[in-house]
Chains A and B, each alone.
Chain A
Amino acid sequence: MFKIRKENLNDLYAKISESMGLYIPIKKAGEVNYHVWGEGKEVSLETLKTVRSPKDAFFPQTENMMKFKTEGKNIDIIDVRDEKRPFVLFGVKACDYKAIEVLDKVFLMDPVDTYYKARRDAITIVTLACSKPEESCFCSVFGIDATAPCGDVTAWLDENYLYWQANTQKGEELTGKVSALFEKGGEEEVKSQQEQTKTILAKLPFATLDLSRFKPENLNELFNAPEWESLSEACLGCGTCTFVCPTCQCFDIRDFKTRDGVLRYRCWDSCMYSDFTLMAHGNSRTTQMQRYRQRFMHKLVYYPSQNDGLYSCVGCGRCVNKCPQRLNIVKVINTLGGKKND
């Protein structure tokens, strides 16, 4: 294990940036999100939850796919992708790292999404253990250890140092580039921080959520549960939950007419929207209840059924904090699990 004094972190960022892109939580206009690092940027590793998850880095909100040039009846298809420069995604929390595993299963499973793969292959992920989880966090319910996230490198932060441990080949390579800035040590400090964090995690209000009813064999029973009506009653269909969610992956493919042809791009979409499933001859989900149910059934039943029981919720708590109507997955788990919401 290595360590670096907090006041020297800027040197670490600068060193990484010499050869790779660096995406790191940066405060901008009052919000902390992952942005490209540069001198003078206000890095905030202490921020527990970036407003948006790091999924933007490899599944951007909008992405150009191809261009079409049309002349008379003729169509030319032009691949607009450029080579992806290697980059480091720095400061990824355990929940968000698990979310990347969830997305990988979607996009890298055969048939492979080549757009996603190109970006994903270019990333080295430096995760950062949590030391101050808050009341909306419930990653432990999904078996995630916030004190020991995986990734190519795992880092821990305390008042004085950032501790660093490479886990993979990619992580070793990155370590090799910056090791001149490091000193050895930190095992004791990390261990004591982990123990302290675990006592907080155990006390969090959602730590006792019971997922036992959310199994593939209960698919139809849960789908037909009468509780969906009251659970979804207040939903505005704004889609905020899907945009801040680290595992939501639905996208749209659209064409945009430009002066010199047609640009085809993809962008995030949301199963909360009424036209998400709209066809020329009808719509398979006509009510907000159906759309609301789809989102949670996907996270808690459909996805696990296709992925060996892995849930596609990671307990980051963003939807708990951001839903304007105070609806969220915790309420769904409690209500359908037969528990009362406080």
Chain B
Amino acid sequence: MIEENLIPKVGVITNVRKDTPDVKTFRVVGTDGKKLFKHMPGQCAMVSVPGVGECMFSITSSPTNEEYMEFSIKKCGCVTEVIHSMEEGSQVTVRGPYGRNFPVEEDFKGKDLLFIAGGIGLAPLRSVINYVRHYRNNYGKVVVVYGARSADDLVDFEEIKTEWKNEPNFEVYLTIDRPQEGWNDHVGFVPSYVKELGLDPNMTAVLCGPPIMIKFTLAGLLELGFDKSRVYTTLELRMKCGIGKCGRCNVGDKFVCKDGPVFRMDQLDELPDEY
């Protein structure tokens, strides 16, 4: 029996959390109250509002959460606008999972891990960070550097403050672009903060955020002595099918939906600059 890839399932929103002025995190289960499908960290799903459209989102919850899936969604287009108006009990359609995940069971195992995120870029990283926390003994030291425009723009700040910061052998560095009252952590952009922190270049790094942040942070990491073959990121392009057929999310000969969204920096170097 061949799996139906293009027909979604109905998802029920069971919780809506407002993370920032323009990001909400939606908890979704099937109509039977159970998790819709299994996934691995970094994989994505197509979420749709029938009659409005369908978009690809990273699944921000960890695979180790067996009860539900979460999507952190920034309001920035017509579909996300409607999703943001939804409340508990509202239904959407969901299909997936799509794409290749972070190599959490391969290359990441036994390594010290560095996660660098900017703004909504935390969404795909939260899945892998919580996966690593769940299987804590399989990984070395973890360092998270997370920046946003302001303290109000940090996605899922509660979990970071109450859980991540208390995790052993787990360092969390937060930064915001401009000083703000009541903010006691770092102020400044992510790329320069990363350089200031003088991080160990033997760590395996994962970058996620706006293209400009990735570009300058990567340059900073390379200066510190990081090797591109141990730096990962995710790409995002327009998608319709999610299974490498509709022809629009390619960068060179790779489809982001199928061959990505997770890429290693040395792999990206071999692709044409069109993303």
Chain A: residues with CB nearer than 8 A to chain B? 65-66, 68, 70, 73-77, 79, 106-107, 109, 111-115, 117, 216, 219-220, 223-224, 249-253, 255, 257, 261-262, 264, 269, 271, 276-281, 284-285, 290, 294, 297-298, 301-303, 305-306
**Given pairs A65-B6, A75-B50, A111-B3, 19 additional interface contacts (CB within 8 A):** A65-B7, A66-B7, A70-B51, A74-B91, A106-B244, A107-B245, A109-B244, A111-B244, A113-B6, A219-B272, A224-B272, A255-B53, A261-B50, A264-B50, A269-B246, A281-B77, A290-B274, A303-B253, A305-B253
B3 touches A73 (CB 8 A): no
Query: How far, in whole Å, are A6 and B258 apart by their CA atoms in the complex?
Result: 49
A223 touches B247 (CB 8 A): no
Please indicate the chain A residues that have their CB under 8 angstroms from the CB of B192 in the complex.
none
Binds A, one of B126-134, B152-160, B198-206, B234-242: B234-242
Q: How many A-B residue pairs have CB under 8 A?
A: 127
Question: Quick one: closest A residue to B98, CB to CB?
Answer: A111
Query: How far, in whole Å, are A290 and B251 apart by their CA atoms in the complex?
Result: 12
Please indicate the chain A residues that have their CB under 8 angstroms from the CB of B236 in the complex.
279
* Closest beta carbon of chain A to B46's beta carbon, Å: 9
Please indicate the chain A residues that have their CB under 8 angstroms from the CB of B51 in the complex.
68, 70, 255, 257, 262
Please indicate the chain B residues that have their CB under 8 angstroms from the CB of A75 in the complex.
10, 50, 91-93
Please indicate the chain B residues that have their CB under 8 angstroms from the CB of A74 in the complex.
91
Question: Does residue B268 face the partner (Cβ distance < 8 Å to A)?
Answer: no
Please indicate the chain A residues that have their CB under 8 angstroms from the CB of B270 in the complex.
220
Question: Quick one: closest A residue to B89, CB to CB?
Answer: A73
- Residues A219 and B253 in contact in the complex (CB < 8 Å), given A249-B245, A278-B238: yes
A111 touches B5 (CB 8 A): yes
Identify whether the interface residues of A are mostly helix, strand, loop, or mixed. Answer: mixed
Q: Find the residue from B51, B80, B247 having the highest chain A CB count within 10 A.
A: B247
Question: Does residue B172 face the partner (Cβ distance < 8 Å to A)?
Answer: no
- Residues A253 and B240 in contact in the complex (CB < 8 Å), given A111-B5, A281-B76: yes
Query: How far, in whole Å, are A73 and B250 apart by their CA atoms in the complex?
Result: 35
Please indicate the chain A residues that have their CB under 8 angstroms from the CB of B7 in the complex.
65-66, 77, 79
- The answer, among B5, B240, B250, for a CB contact under 8 Å with A252, is B240
Please indicate the chain A residues that have their CB under 8 angstroms from the CB of B240 in the complex.
251-253, 269
A117 touches B53 (CB 8 A): no
* Closest beta carbon of chain A to B92's beta carbon, Å: 8
Which 9 pairs of residues, A with B, have the shortest CB-CB distance? A280-B77, A250-B247, A68-B50, A302-B253, A223-B272, A305-B253, A262-B51, A262-B50, A111-B243
* Binary CB contact string for chain B from 162 to 203 against chain A (1 if under 8 A, 0 otherwise): 000000000000000000000000000000000000000000
B50 touches A251 (CB 8 A): no
Report the interface size class on chain B: 35 or more
Query: How far, in whole Å, are A252 and B249 apart by their CA atoms in the complex?
Result: 12
Question: Does residue B140 face the partner (Cβ distance < 8 Å to A)?
Answer: no
Q: Which of B46-62 contact A (CB under 8 A)?
A: 50-54
B8 touches A77 (CB 8 A): yes
- The answer, among A253, A269, A284, for a CB contact under 8 Å with B237, is A284
**What are 25 pairs between A and B in contact, CB < 8 Å?**
A68-B50, A68-B51, A68-B93, A76-B10, A77-B7, A77-B8, A79-B7, A112-B3, A113-B5, A250-B248, A251-B240, A251-B247, A252-B240, A252-B246, A253-B241, A269-B248, A278-B238, A280-B78, A284-B238, A284-B251, A298-B247, A298-B250, A302-B253, A303-B253, A306-B253
- The answer, among B53, B80, B238, for a CB contact under 8 Å with A277, is B238
Query: How far, in whole Å, are A276 and B246 apart by their CA atoms in the complex?
Result: 10
Q: Which of B86-104 contact A (CB under 8 A)?
A: 89-93
Please indicate the chain A residues that have their CB under 8 angstroms from the CB of B2 in the complex.
112, 114, 117
Query: How far, in whole Å, are A70 and B6 apart by their CA atoms in the complex?
Result: 19
Please indicate the chain A residues that have their CB under 8 angstroms from the CB of B89 in the complex.
73
